[in-house]
A and B are shown apart, each in its own frame.
Chain A
């Protein structure tokens, strides 16, 4: 029973990080209907800048730089590439982000070479025990940070002007534009927010407790596991992203323990497949309907 509780706590901690990433996918998708395949490279980019600046700025400063620069890179992508091809449909823009992802990822992996630095200096302390359960600090900090960020996002999404504009645009792009909502600004902020969330997530991913490996190609593929999280929840549902993230974290933790570590990666995708067969647009996604 203790093992189980421990797995649940650790799974939720991991899931919180997946939720941050999945939320990034969902925000971008809601604002632009583009699925951002370059999300993994935003994660790597943020992490890489932490590594580069850590010597001179210390952990906190470097983390800030990493988070901000992941947001800026996302903004740059949107402004330089995606906003320039309005005529292209959302699917080909998704393919474009694949091209971006290949370039950024290969370059960062090349720069990292064989050094695979860990990022979680600030709390990479000993795991500790509460009532017979071993807990990792990374998971707890991740849960806390994710809870704060997601709550803040939800509130902003509901009550702020930005959130209203965002929801209006998600509902009907043209009508929103006619009502005076600047669609380019909404789109740009959506990308920045997604980039920032990716920058926060990498601080947890490239740690001993989370992945057992430093910043590397593997970090990118962990970010990829947020894909099933977003899809499973429903690509256009922010609540779905959070639920999807937690489900993915739990499935991964439990299957790694009870089946095998190798299986845990595919377990996440299998669970997603089952959900999709039952509900083709995810748990909370809007169902597509066709009128003939």
Chain B
């Protein structure tokens, strides 16, 4: 029998470099194809659909930030909506006209204000470090919830900044180096399609989302990401290995808040109004924190591409449903007990959370990994839990 054993094929050698290069090439081509499609979309879809797509990108940016915090660094946070509000207010205040009597503004350049809004959110996240560093798990989750309530109160009471709950305030339209992302300014046309506010904002949001994605991927595969995962898996072991646990936790919170701040600034540009909530359920309320958590869970905790897919589902569904409803005559009911697109998508993502936890704790990312075999499998540390 021994000679048959010798003859039997040896265990498959590691994929030859040529093959690995080919998979890499295919992957790169797929990414380029996706980017081309995303770049071409404004030429073919009308403004309403672009608006819907922009909303999904807002969700994507926020969800990437949360997946880094919850999935990679292992810190449960329900505070995402607060940092969204911080970014939204930050952008509006920094760019707001300085001579307005009712509300406070600094009159800065909108591009600079966007950066400033992200920085403000990151600093606020860092300021939460004394709390976030000491707590973990559910205790941290509920502690972070307090920020949402604080945001609700500040939004109501700091009227010179937020414009108050009754009227809110209008943000300065975005412009970059003097180029406006509105219908003003130079007339541009691509292949006969005028590039106006909807198209310009689409490209702006696409750029921001791609930047957010690339930075997050880089962070995950760098030593920063490794230290986050070490802290997530075992704080004591991480500190023994030389990871500064306090710093890693604070850093993860700050980075995640920065992402939420960017998403908040995008939100205020999307709505074209900054309007703080009247109750804890609103644009910056608990429901939003939970929606972001849903994106992250559905996508697969810790997976950056998964977060994007989760955002596509959670933020995209209500938008797409309401666009289709006009065509199909759905959701025509009004008044008591009417089904709205938002309600239906809440049901869907609520159910999706349950199904994911019950049947596929790795989320959509795990399903994706299963159907596309790749060398990533051998690096379990890079996958979310």
Interface 9-residue window, one of B29-37, B143-151, B183-191: B143-151
Chain B, Cβ-Cβ closest to A91: B137
- The smallest C-beta distance from A51 to any residue of chain B, in angstroms, reads 13
A228 and B236 alpha carbons, distance in the complex (Å): 28
The answer to whether residues A95 and B293 also contact, given A103-B351, A221-B279, A273-B131 and a CB cut-off of 8 A, is yes
Given contacts A272-B146, A281-B139, whether A114 and B336 have CB atoms under 8 Å apart is: yes
Q: A91-B76, A277-B131 are in contact. Are A99 and B294 (CB under 8 A)?
A: yes
Q: How far is the CA of A110 from the CA of B343 in the complex (A)?
A: 8
Q: Is the CB of B76 within 8 A of A266?
A: no
Provide the main secondary structure of the chain B interface: helix
Query: Nearest A residue to B150 by beta-carbon distance?
Result: A266
| Contact A85–B357 (Cβ < 8 Å) | yes
Whether B146 lies near A266 (C-beta < 8 A) is yes
CB distance from B220 to the nearest CB of A (A): 20
**B174 interface residue per 8 A CB criterion:** no
Contacts of A100 in B (CB 8 A): 350, 354
Residues of B within 8 A of A101 (CB): 350
Those of B225-279 within 8 Å (CB) of chain A: 235-236, 240, 279
CB distance from A222 to the nearest CB of B (A): 11
Which of chain A's residues have a CB closer than 8 A to the CB of B354? 81, 96, 99-100, 103
A99-B357, A110-B343, A113-B337 given; A263·B134 CB < 8 A: no
Is A163 at the interface (CB under 8 A from chain B)?
Answer: no
Contacts of A103 in B (CB 8 A): 346-347, 350-351, 354
Contact segment of B111-119, B152-160, B374-382: B152-160
Chain A 204-227 near chain B by CB (<8 Å), digits 1 or 0: 000000000000011001001001
Decide if B235 touches A290 in the complex (CB within 8 Å).
yes
In the complex, chain A residues whose CB is within 8 Å of the CB of B290: 98, 102
B335 interfacial contact with A, CB 8 Å = yes
A-B CB contact pairs (8 Å), 9 listed = A102-B290, A106-B346, A113-B335, A269-B149, A273-B146, A276-B143, A277-B131, A280-B139, A290-B235
Known: A99-B349, A100-B350. 17 other contacts (CB 8 A): A81-B354, A91-B138, A99-B350, A99-B352, A100-B354, A102-B290, A102-B350, A106-B346, A106-B347, A114-B336, A217-B281, A235-B138, A263-B157, A269-B145, A273-B131, A277-B134, A280-B139
- Ordered nearest first, which 6 A-B pairs have the shortest CB separation? A113-B336, A99-B353, A269-B146, A102-B350, A103-B350, A96-B357
